[in-house]
Copies of this chain bind each other. A is one copy, B any other.
Amino acid sequence: MSQAMTTLYGPVAEDMVLVEDLLETVKQTDVGPLSRMLEHALEARGKRLRPALVLLSGALGNYDLNRLVPLGAAIELLHTASLVHDDVVDGATSRRGRPTSNAIFDNALTVLLGDYMFANAAEMVTRTGSLEVTRLFALALMKMTSGELDQDAAAFDVGHDVQQYLSRIGGKTAALFANATEGGAILGEMDRDTVAALRVYGYSLGMAFQIVDDVLDFNGDEELMGKPVGSDLREGTVTLPGLLLLERYPKDNPIKRFFTAKRDRERHLQAAITTVQDTEVLESSMDMARDYVRRAREAIAPIPDGEAKRSLVEVTDYVLDRSS
């Protein structure tokens, strides 16, 4: 983990290695091809934001690593599995500069790889010893897949509004963040009000995270992101900046022109991207992200001060300020 993350994760930073160790055991299987595929899928190490949220939430109460670490690893594994399937679904050949599993092993085997990872994550979450946390975990996966499915079914369709977008990213992204913080709070044996507060914190943080992601798709550094600017739009996905552009400039809108263009599609795409970049819609989107961060902070405001709480507050800043 980078120095920045170690500082950010504060009191739980050292224990994050236990999550890594548990994720490492996932690669152990007798089935040869599966073992090689897991090796590749788990090689790219992200910031481990979701497991850190589990540990930080648990650290506000009864900090039992025997229960928190399996939840953290299960959530990270579920997240990785969903990326594996998303790349099959989108036909993506690279992610953050690395070839995707489907680019190396073909779609068919990669679908099964993702299934195996989902199953392994489900098995891992039962090690928390909590049926309630296990059930919330399954519900989060239901929300994630319906959000993703709703998004894909709506590709190249401009007839959606901001409310639908928020509901979609609520499923696709925020549900798992909420699962991390609520699950950590339940395992930390906190009272019902604190559990609810941490669920709201996680959900709001996840919403902000996804909105920032969607803004970075327009103004991020291509090198850092490992993908060209405007990738979502190219796939037909209209995220918040695009929706605001459609709402505010309904006539002769460049996104509509791109979606309906029979020729010169690349030129139309670039025109749409440039318009998004040059108008106020990116800043308006960031305003919404900041609003969600405000809600996240408000939710945990009643929780007594301490190291873990301070880290949770700092994470909200990180989510807004990150550049990749």
Contact = CB atoms under 8 A, between A and B. Distances in A.
Interface of A: 29, 31-34, 37, 82, 85, 88-91, 107-109, 111-116, 118-120, 122-123, 126-127, 129-131, 134-135, 137-139, 141-142, 144-146, 148-150, 152-153
A129 B126 contact: no
Contact of A131 (B90, B134, B139): B134
A149 B31 contact: yes
Given A138-B126, A146-B29, A90 B116 contact: no
Contacts of A114: 111, 115
Given A129-B131, A135-B126, A138-B122, A149 B89 contact: no
**Main secondary structure on A side of the interface with B:** helix
Contacts of A138: 119-120, 122-123, 126
A153 to B, nearest CB: 4
A71 to B, nearest CB: 14
Nearest to A124: B138
Contacts of A127: 135
Nearest to A143: B119
B142 A123 contact: yes
Contacts of A153: 32-33, 109
Contacts of A130: 131
